[in-house]
Amino acid sequence: MESNSVLTIEDVNKTFGGLRALSDINLDIEEGKTHAIIGPNGAGKSTLLNVCIGRLAPDTGSVTFNGKNMVGLQPHEINHAGMVRVFQTPEIFPDLTLLQNVMIPALAKRDGMFCFNVFKDMRNQTDIRDEADHALEDVGLIKFRNNKADTISRGDKRRLELAMGLIQHPKLLLLDEPTAGMSRHDTNRTIELLQKIKERGMTKVIIEHDMHVVFSLADRISVLAQGEIIASGAPDEIRGNPIVKEAYLGGEEL
């Protein structure tokens, strides 16, 4: 089990003032699996993602990705290590077109952290553009490809950001509530899309409130409550776990 884990979180602690946001978190994300992290609001889910992606430094503990320690690295270095995050509030380039929005991460993949390519013409980057078109088609936004990104709806922005993450073919994709704020129809389309990616073997960590999404995608579920992992296991184990019902689901039947 240790051998094929992509991301290993060991003994991570994080406090904000007096509040223990994360206490002694230990988590293994296995390659090719979809790992869901659920928990009530304020349980520390987003903090955990922020620690993984380098936005926050843990007080103690280590985050090992692909055999390398991630703590203290810059966000762009973590990206190039192969860990990509899709944010909860859409983080896109509002002044650029959808096509440019998706081409930028593809350029990051090709050009690296810095590349002074002023002698090339953006219009001749056909390989990158075809890739971007393909990614936009995947998320169903191809019809808006030449529109400015701040003109599309919030749900569309979230799918645009998903396309921006997917085009980099990350080893690990971190999704922060990928369907929050989406209509039922859009949610189902996103689930379909994520299932398709899963078939391609991409490892994912999903934070999600929508149990329908969690149980249709997750191979493993970890339950976070008040900064601690109170249960971790296959979906069926979690569904039947009395502690989880007590702490999170409030006794509600799943």
Partner 1 sequence: MKKILSTQSNLNVMLIFSAVVLSAPLWLTPIGANYPDLLQKFAIFGVFAIGFNILFGLTGYLSFGHAAFLGIGSYSAVWSFKLLTMNVVPAIIFGVVLSGLFAAVIGFISLRRSGIYFSILTLAFAQMSYNLAYSVLTPITNGETGLQLTLHDPRVLDAAAAEQSGIPSTTLFGLSMSGYSGFYFCASILILAFFVSLKIFRSPFGVKLLAIKSNQTRMKYTGFNTRPYLLTAFIISGMYAGLAGTLMAVTDPLAGAERMQWTASGEVVLMTILGGTGTLIGPLLGVGIIKYFENIFSALNEQTLYVVFDFLPEFLQSFLVLITHPFVGEGWHLTLGALFMIVVIFLPGGVMEGINRLSGFVKRKYFSDDSGADSKAESRLQTSDAGGE
Residues that bind partner 1 (CB under 8 A): 53, 74-76, 79-80, 84-85, 87, 91-97, 99-100, 103-105, 107-109, 111-123, 125, 129, 132, 146-148, 151, 164, 168
Torsional sign, CA 37, 41, 43, 46: positive
Query: In this complex, which beta carbon is closest to partner 1, that of residue 203 or of residue 222?
Result: 203
Query: In this complex, which beta carbon is closest to partner 1, that of residue 143 or of residue 196?
Result: 143
Binning the chain into helix, strand and coil, the percentages to the nearest 5 are 40, 25, 35
Question: What minimum distance in Å lies between the beta carbon of 159 and partner 1?
Answer: 16
Query: 31: part of which helix (H) or strand (E)?
Result: none
Query: In this complex, which beta carbon is closest to partner 1, that of residue 36 or of residue 164?
Result: 164
Question: What minimum distance in Å lies between the beta carbon of 50 and partner 1?
Answer: 11
> Which residues, including other chains, have CB under 8 Å from residue 218's CB and lie 6 or more apart?
34, 35, 36, 206, 235
Question: What minimum distance in Å lies between the beta carbon of 134 and partner 1?
Answer: 14
Cα–Cα distances in angstroms (integers) from residue 22 to residues 1, 13, 57, 243, in the given order: 24, 5, 12, 19
Residue with tokens 């966000």: 75
Question: What minimum distance in Å lies between the beta carbon of 6 and partner 1?
Answer: 18
Query: In this complex, which beta carbon is closest to partner 1, that of residue 74 or of residue 195?
Result: 74
Q: Nearest CA to 222 among 212, 237, 210?
A: 237
Residue with tokens 């339950």: 223
Question: What minimum distance in Å lies between the beta carbon of 121 and partner 1?
Answer: 5
Mapped onto helix, strand or coil, the DSSP state of residue 139 is coil
Strand runs labelled E in the chain: 5-16, 19-30, 34-38, 60-65, 68-69, 83-86, 172-176, 203-207, 220-225, 228-233
Question: What minimum distance in Å lies between the beta carbon of 100 and partner 1?
Answer: 4
Query: In this complex, which beta carbon is closest to partner 1, that of residue 135 or of residue 214?
Result: 135
Question: What minimum distance in Å lies between the beta carbon of 122 and partner 1?
Answer: 5
Query: In this complex, which beta carbon is closest to partner 1, that of residue 5 or of residue 101?
Result: 101
Query: In this complex, which beta carbon is closest to partner 1, that of residue 113 or of residue 254?
Result: 113
